[in-house]
Every structure is written in structure tokens, then in C-alpha cells.
Amino acid sequence: MASETYVVHASTTRDVALRERTDFWSEHVTSCQSRMGYGYPRTDDFHAGTIRQFTDTHQLVMFWSDTITYTRTAGQTRHAPDEDYRLLLPVTGEMVMRQGDQELRLVPGAGCLVTFATPFELRQDVSARALIMSIAAQEVNGRLNRSSPLTAAIDLASGLGRVVGDMLTGLHEERDTLTTGQFDAVSDRLVELLCMLAAGDDRPTAPGHLTDVETMVRRYIREHAADPGMTGITVAQALGWSLRQVQLALQHAGTTPRELIREERLRLVRDRLPAPAYRHMTITELAYASGFSSSSALSTAFRQRFGVCPREVRHAGPRPVGDTRPS
């Protein structure tokens, strides 16, 4: 059965003997992120800590420490492959990220999207506290139509970037009040908005300004997911585009109208199952109210997507099932 647990866990070197603190920190960060190298100016009395939030799908970590340099070498990318991205945002202090031919100075409001698939060096000052979110590679590469890894500076101080930054810090600040479904849902939306920021000139916009088409299609499908008559054709007609434009825009993002409609309906059911406002509804009624043609169609799709059936989630308690897509 899929895990339904959203976990918040704090760790600190204060609970470790002085001579063991750097070893503890190296092992701890590796277990949370990936294999890296660690440069400690001081090894006799190292102070550091994390607050980690995670489900089966998403992870957000607040971390702080004395001065340290993290490195990921070419050998480590080969022997401990990790294709996923990290969104890095300092909350206080300063960091310097070097990857490829880029050097990024990171301060509050100035973050970066970094890949663990290629070598990098990250220098952290003693005053720095930062948030780091793990993001599955396909979530970024599919939306941006990329076949090679991306490293990008992200302005989180204004406009849409500020919205993303506020969502990220809010996700951390409200960590003790969130459910599995809430944490996953906010993380999903945050990644979607982040990709819009990171796209820049990397995502094709012709023909038909595909970037704008995809954004509008995703928003429309999410808002009308419960409509049982929604298809790729009805979406295209409602937005004033051709079906081909809609299909091409979603193809660049690695999906199709049918798949996206099913995904949003499944997320709708996932969110509604534990909600008090829908507890009075049977699974069949919930299926029809969420756009599915029958309870059996919902159960089959739900089990394929989340690893459990809706009835198991309904009987499990107030927390919704976590997303079980492979990272």
C-alpha cells in the first residue's frame, strides 16, 4: 500500500559529539540529497541543522550551518547518478553556486534551479539559511522540452517569482499544519509556476505561442476537471485555439489532453476524499462529481496512479494518499 505519511523531521549537530559532527553532517546531507563532497574550514566544532518536510513525491529542506563548501564531481555524477533538480533559495546570508560556466551569487530573493546531473560547487557562508526543494527531472525537462540539464538563476523578488518565493517559504512556515495532500498539491503547483519562470527562451513558443497555450490549457483543465464532457476538442474550442495547437503545446510538455484531464480529475478526487465537505458522498457519487464516467473507471485509474483504491483511502482516515510517481 502506498505511503500516506507526510513527515516533518528536524536534525541538528547539537546532539552529536564534537569530534563526530562533520561526519554526521556529511552522512545526513547525503541521505537527504545525494552523494557530494564536503569542505569544512573547521572540523573541531561544527554547527548545522535541517528541518525536512517530505512525502513519497516531494521534499523541502530548510538548512543552515557554519561555513562549508559542497561539491559534486564528475565521478560522483557517474557513480551516484541523480538526474533531478533542486530549487535553492537563501532566506538569510549569501551563497555562491558555480556550475558549468555560470557563477551565481545567491541572496534572499535570488535563487537558482540547479541540476545534480552535472558537477557543481556551492559555497555557503556561516550566516546563510536556505530552502532547497527536490524536483523530479521529468517535471522540468518535460515542461521545458529539454533533453539536456538546465541551470538557471531565478528572480524570486518580484512578479511571478515573488509568488513562487512566498509559496516556498509559506510551505516551510506552515509545515506543522499541513496534510499529505496539501503539501503535495502546493508543491505540484509551485513546480508548475517555477517552470514558467525558468522557461525564458528555452521553451519553444512557435507555432501559436505554445508556452501561452500550454499555460492556459493547464489552468482551464484544472478549473473544469469535474466536467464529464471535457475533451481535448472542448478545451480547444473554449480557449479559441485549434485541437492541433493544444496537442502540440502539451506534447512539448510531455503529455496529451487526455492524460492531463485524467491527471487533474485524479488529483481532484485525491483532494476530495478526506475533505469533510465530501464525506457524505459515496465513492460512486464522488466519481461522477469529479468527471469520471463510473466508479469502476475511477477505481482503476486511481489504483494505477496512486497504488491504492479510493475506498482504502476513504477508510484510512483524514489524510489523503500521497502521490507515488517515480522520481
DSSP state at residue 219: H
Q: Specify whether the CB–CB gap between 323 and 3 falls below 8 A.
A: no
Tell me what pLDDT residue 209 has: 53
Q: What is d(CA 107, CA 111) in angstroms, rounded to the nearest whole number?
A: 7
Q: What is d(CA 36, CA 26) in angstroms, rounded to the nearest whole number?
A: 8
Number of residues in the chain = 327
Asked whether the bond before 149 is cis by omega within 30 degrees of 0, the reply is no
Q: What is d(CA 223, CA 263) in angstroms, rounded to the nearest whole number?
A: 13
Q: Specify whether the CB–CB gap between 189 and 61 falls below 8 A.
A: no
Tell me what pLDDT residue 140 has: 85
Tell me what pLDDT residue 104 has: 86
Tell me what pLDDT residue 184 has: 92
Asked whether the bond before 204 is cis by omega within 30 degrees of 0, the reply is no
Q: Specify whether the CB–CB gap between 152 and 196 falls below 8 A.
A: no
227 C-beta neighbours (distance < 10 Å), count:
16
- Whole-angstrom CA distances from 47 to 157, 291, 310 are 29, 52, 45
pTM: predicted TM-score of the whole model, two decimal places:
0.62
What domains, with CATH codes, occur in the chain? Answer: 7-199 (2.60.120.10), 210-316 (1.10.10.60)
Q: What is d(CA 58, CA 175) in angstroms, rounded to the nearest whole number?
A: 13
- Whole-angstrom CA distances from 239 to 54, 97, 180, 323 are 36, 41, 33, 29
Tell me the pLDDT of the chain (327 aa) as tens digits: 344 689 999 999 998 999 999 999 999 999 999 999 999 998 888 999 999 999 989 999 999 999 999 999 999 999 999 999 999 999 999 999 998 877 888 999 888 999 999 999 999 998 899 999 999 988 888 777 776 777 778 888 878 888 999 999 999 999 999 999 999 999 999 998 888 877 653 433 344 456 778 888 999 999 999 999 999 888 888 876 777 778 888 887 888 999 999 999 999 999 898 888 888 999 999 999 999 999 999 999 999 999 998 988 887 655 444 444 333
Enclosing H/E stretch for 165:
helix 159-173
Tell me what pLDDT residue 33 has: 95
The phi, psi pair for 232, rounded to 5°, reads: -60, -35
The phi, psi pair for 110, rounded to 5°, reads: -125, 100
Give me the sign of the Cα torsion angle 278, 264, 214, 156: positive
DSSP state at residue 136: -
Half-sphere exposure of 271 (CA within 13 A, CB side): 18
Residue among 326, 325, 321 nearest 2 (CA) = 321
The phi, psi pair for 299, rounded to 5°, reads: -60, -45
One DSSP character per residue, 239-298 reads HT--HHHHHHHHHHTT--HHHHHHHHHHHHHHHHTT-GGGTTS-HHHHHHHTT-S-HHHH
